[in-house]
Amino acid sequence: DTGVSQDPRHKITKRGQNVTFRCDPISEHNRLYWYRQTLGQGPEFLTYFQNEAQLEKSRLLSDRFSAERPKGSFSTLEIQRTEQGDSAMYLCASTMGDLKTQYFGPGTRLLVL
């Protein structure tokens, strides 16, 4: 257990539905990352927060995706109008200050039917 938690751990939804995932980073960590991992591939960067500011978004993050980190603590990732191609593991990681070691949560596995 790294101290990063994610909820839910698994989500099955029907195409076209909206889903929201939550990440609780290690409490003193001000940097938070979201990654997506499809079967057989390494994780791919989606977006990055420093405190509450979203400072970078990948081109993978289409208009249907939105992420927030309202008080610089937990973060949410919402996918609107889900598509089957959104099926993946969504990973959250956190770190602090100038440290580069990211600590990953267990991930949320999404299946879109």
Partner 1 sequence: DAKTTQPPSMDCAEGRAANLPCNHSTISGNEYVYWYRQIHSQGPQYIIHGLKNNETNEMASLIITEDRKSSTLILPHATLRDTAVYYCIAPQISGTYKYIFGTGTRLKVLA
Q: Which of residues 15-54 bind partner 1 (CB under 8 A)?
A: 31, 33, 35, 40-45, 48
Interface positions, 53-82, toward partner 1 (CB under 8 A): 55-56
108-112 and 10-13: which strand pairing? parallel
- Considering the complex, state which of residue 33 and residue 79 has its C-beta at the smaller distance from partner 1: 33
Could you tell me whether strands 44-50 and 31-37 are parallel, antiparallel, or unpaired per DSSP bridges? antiparallel
Q: Is 113 in the site for partner 1 (CB under 8 A)?
A: no
**Applying CB under 8 A, which residues contact partner 1?**
2, 4, 31, 33, 35, 40-45, 48, 55-56, 89, 91, 93, 95, 100-107, 109
